[in-house]
Amino acid sequence: MSHPHPELGPPPPLPRNTLRIIPLGGLGEIGRNMAVLEYEGKMLIIDCGVLFPAEEQPGVDLILPDFEYLRGRLDDVEAIVLTHGHEDHIGGVPFLLRERTDIPLVGSRLTLALLTAKLGEHRIKPTLIQVAEGEQHTFGSFNLEFFAVNHSIPDALAVGVRTPAGNVLHTGDFKMDQLPLDNRITDLGGFARFGAEGVDLLMSDSTNAEVPGFVTSERDIAGVLDTVFAKAEKRIIVACFASHIHRVQQVLDASQAHGRKVAFVGRTMIRNMNIARELGYLKVPGDLLVDARDLEALPSDEVVLVCTGSQGEPMAALSRMANRDHQIHIEPGDTVILASSLIPGNENSVNRVINGLTRWGAKVVHKGNALVHVSGHAPAGELLYVLNMVRPRNFMPIHGEWRHLRAHAQLAMLSGIPEDRVVIAEDGVVVDLHDGKARISGVVQAGYVYVDGTSVGDVTEAALKDRRILGEEGFISVVIVVESTTGKLIGEPQIHTRGAGIDLEAYDDVIPKIQEVLEQAAAEGVNDPAQLRQLVRRSIGRWVNESYRRRPMLVPVVIEI
């Protein structure tokens, strides 16, 4: 089994008849999925998604893949292939197209419709190539064949990539629900046929590699929803991803059966459901839908709200309801259904929302106490099924945290793939497929790129560290005025503080220490502002640490006159 190594250097020039695979996101994390396939100087991109920030990344809106590897070479990109319409696979496309707007976007009907609406908000007119399962399309040296896969969004695709250097099967996100709501099952026959042709590298979804067995069918949720609806006393509020059309369909069906009207809440939810309805992926019975503004006129036991916020996102509708920061107030007797899986890292945020909702008297139904969601990703039994069916010469787990990638690698070896042909890479680690063997050949830049408002890439790890310190420890600013020629202190240091938890009177103890240090520096002929700032920082920092065991941000300011 190949492992990424910290001392890897840049990869060598691409050898002839070699297919190079560069994952720029999605390995070692859930989100930000992006892979670059390169052959003879031309590139094919598979997915370009975003990662949503964690609590330790304050102020960040989105996290993008690092496009540095592509800069200066964007004219060599033949196309961007999009496996499905989830944000962690398409959310980064607008930011990449800012650098070259005419890159062809290849995807299914629904995927392109969702992406087009997103690009419209960025004022980008894309070049679209709509594809469907069973079709083949060629872009330069890359011949692509598309396979239907079942996932938690309609119209998802796997893609087989044929090149002179070998064949690759990229599953995208998938599961093998045998009774899907849209009757569109994963094309196992197509996988087997492509495998019989010869798959040199299988890149497969690892999210549920630690989960044994086979996936529960989406159809099993219908009965649970029916029971929850039957017992609900007042309003029902359902929170799910704005792209989970199958789940919304089940909520619409249950609402119709129980005589309730449905309103969508939130701009993204309304937009996506309108698109799904127009394209025929969402079936809305009669006059079931109403505008959220008209809900006040309806009895509370005839209302269903569908909103975002199942992951505890601070600005999503459900979080704001829990905080009483939304026009819709939670009332005793309301029922809230969290109809989605918990993305790793969001546990605290979701629990905080559940507690907030419960505080106001709501009954909260979630995956932990009822079958209101099944995963969109294949568990271990299904992953083994695909490995045995495709019989790849080499295997590379994708889409997952480290524990998922390693678990999937173990499954591959159990299925008979030799250990030296199982490649565990991480973002930026370059894998070369040559003469039927996949090997790690180097590493390229693939760090986090933060989107903060209109700023892209300006926020650094150092800035995030400062934000964390400010949020947790506050700051202390010390302003001193000195003579520019001698460095002698003029007047008393002025101290300003916010959030440090220290009374202003307490700083009377440290001001003499600062004065003493500065007087000694002046006697030694020190008058450089940078050195004076450092002396002040050390002096007050030592005092705060010894006296209060705190480490606030220290901002010394030197004014020369």
CATH number, residue 173 = 3.60.15.10
Q: What is the CATH number of the domain that holds 241?
A: 3.40.50.10710
Which of 12-16, 32-36, 57-61, 119-123 is predicted least confidently? 57-61
Q: Strand 437-443 vs strand 429-434: parallel, antiparallel, or unpaired?
A: antiparallel
Residue 290 shares a structural domain with residue 397: no
Residues placed in the known binding site for substrate = 242-244, 373-377
Alpha helix (H) residue ranges in 391-452: 402-414
Question: What distance in Å separates the CA atoms of residue 417 and residue 223, rounded to the nearest whole number?
Answer: 41
Can you say which residues are annotated as belonging to the binding site for Ca(2+)?
59, 61, 452
- Whole-structure pTM value: 0.84
Between 262 and 55, the higher pLDDT residue: 262
Asked whether residue 154 falls in the same domain as residue 35, the answer is: yes
Residue 5: pLDDT over 60: no
> Alpha-carbon distance 364 to 237, whole Å?
9
How many CB atoms within 10 Å of residue 231? 10
Give yes or no: residues 310 and 413 share one domain.
Answer: no
Residue type, 532: L
Indicate if 234 and 353 belong to the same structural domain.
yes
Q: Which domain covers residue 231, as residue numbers?
A: 218-365
**Which CATH number fits the domain that encloses residue 487?**
3.10.20.580
Kindly state whether residue 500 falls inside one of the protein's structural domains.
Answer: yes
Least confident of 245-249, 253-257, 477-481: 477-481
Q: Do 414 and 327 belong together in one domain? A: no
Inter-residue contact 517 to 536 (CB < 8 Å): yes
Percentages (nearest 5) of helix, strand, coil residues in the chain: 35, 25, 40
Q: What is the mean pLDDT of residues 464-493?
A: 79
Domain check: are 36 and 159 in the same one? yes
* Token reading at 150: 């079942």
Domain co-membership, 65 together with 206: yes
CA 360 to chain centre: 30
pLDDT, tens digit, 9 for 90 and up, residues 369-387? 888 888 899 999 999 999 9
The answer to whether residues 61 and 75 belong to one domain is yes
Number of domains the chain is built from = 3
The domain boundary, picked from 365, 388, 414, lies at 365
With bands split at pLDDT 50, 70 and 90, how would you rate the model's confidence at 321?
A: confident
Would 1 be classed as within a structural domain?
A: no
Give residue 161's pLDDT: 98
Question: Same structural domain for residues 27 and 148?
Answer: yes
Pairwise pLDDT comparison (206 vs 540), residue with the higher score: 206
* 5 within domain boundaries: no
Q: Alpha-carbon distance 342 to 129, whole Å?
A: 33
Task: Please give the pLDDT value at position 454.
Answer: 62
| Residue list for the binding site | 59, 61, 84, 86, 88-89, 151, 173, 242-244, 373-377, 399, 452
Residue 325 pLDDT: 81
The token pair at 492 is 């008393």
Residues assigned a catalytic role: 205, 377
Tell me: do 115 and 258 sit in the same domain.
no
